[in-house]
Each structure stands twice: as structure tokens, then as C-alpha cells.
Amino acid sequence: MKLVLIGHSIGSYISLQMLKRAPELPVIHSFLLFPTIERMSESPRGRIATPLLCWFRYVLYAAGYLLFKPCPQKIKSLLIRMGLQVMNVENEFSLMNVLEPFCIANAAYLGGQEMMQVVERDNETIKEHLSKLTFYYGAVDPWCPKEYYEDIKKNFPEGDIRLCEKNIPHAFILHFYQEMAGMVADWLKDNLPKI
């Protein structure tokens, strides 16, 4: 058995942690898409999210509980559908739990942990596994700005570190998932004979 890891955003950080903490896994390649692997709280989006998720999360908990706990499922369903329409996203799966207070609390806690934990890029792990890593940064990404791409490219000039030229956003899963899947599949086809 051989493994290929594909991580998006915080999943890229998790992929690097897997390489570091479980070196016995037979990982042959890892694709890190729009990688939030460093300075999350310093990024443009992180500067907004950090205070909300780390300092005001209890306000979010209380507001979520007070607003959504007594709310009937029909109203929650309507709110979710309206939100998805505003974002122009088709609902292909059930999102009913999104407005449950425990879900809001867990998401806020997870986000806060990301802001506090993802600080310094793990250059040691990257250096050790560089030959089996592909990084794909967005040209305009509020979670990992272009300067992060430039910094890692400077530190690892021999690495497979790419910058998006197609204006695909960080949240590609909303509208560009097929295009990204096709790109990763092509990269994988190119890499498999070499592995």
C-alpha cells in the first residue's frame, strides 16, 4: 500500500504533521493546496478571525445558544438555504447541524486552536520530505498571502512550489472543485511514473 496525501488549507498543516509524527506511513507524495502552514493569525483573514475565535468565542457560544437552540428546524433549514443561495452554492448534503450550538462552539474552538497553533512553518519537516511535496498557493489568498509563497520559494528554491495563475480562490471547494481535482489528477499522473 502507498499513500498520497491531499491537504487543503489547514489540511496541509495536518498532512505535514502526519509526515512528521508517523514516518512509518508509506506516503509517496503530498499535495498541499492553498496551505495554511504558517502565520495564520497574521494573515489578512487571520487578523479578523483571531479575535473572534480566541477572545470572543464565548460570546459566539452564548449568541448561538440563545438564537438557535430554541429555533425550530424549519426556520434553521430556511436560514441555511438562504445562506447557500447568497453564496451561490448548491446544497448537496445536509447542513442542519451547522446552526446547532454545539456545532458553532466546536467550529469556533477548532478555529481558535488553528490561530494559536499554526504559527511557525515547520522547515525541518518540509526539508526532510521536500521531494514528495507539492505546494500550490493562491495568487490572492486572504489566509496565506502571496508573500508566504515568496518566502517558502526563497527558502526551498528546489521545491515544487507553485503559484496559481487561474485566479482560483482559497475556498475553491465552493465553485472550482472540479478544476482543482483535474489539476491534482494531472499532477499525480505526471508524478506516478517517477515514484
Catalogue the active-site residues.
9, 141, 170
| Other CB atoms within 10 A of residue 27 CB | 18
Please report which helix (H) or strand (E) contains residue 169, including its range. Answer: none
From 69, 7, 77, 72, select the one nearest 36 (Cα to Cα): 7
Residue 182 has which C-alpha cell?
483535474
The sheet carrying 3-8 orders its strands as 3-8, 27-33, 133-137, 160-163
Backbone phi, psi, residue 101, to 5°: -55, -40
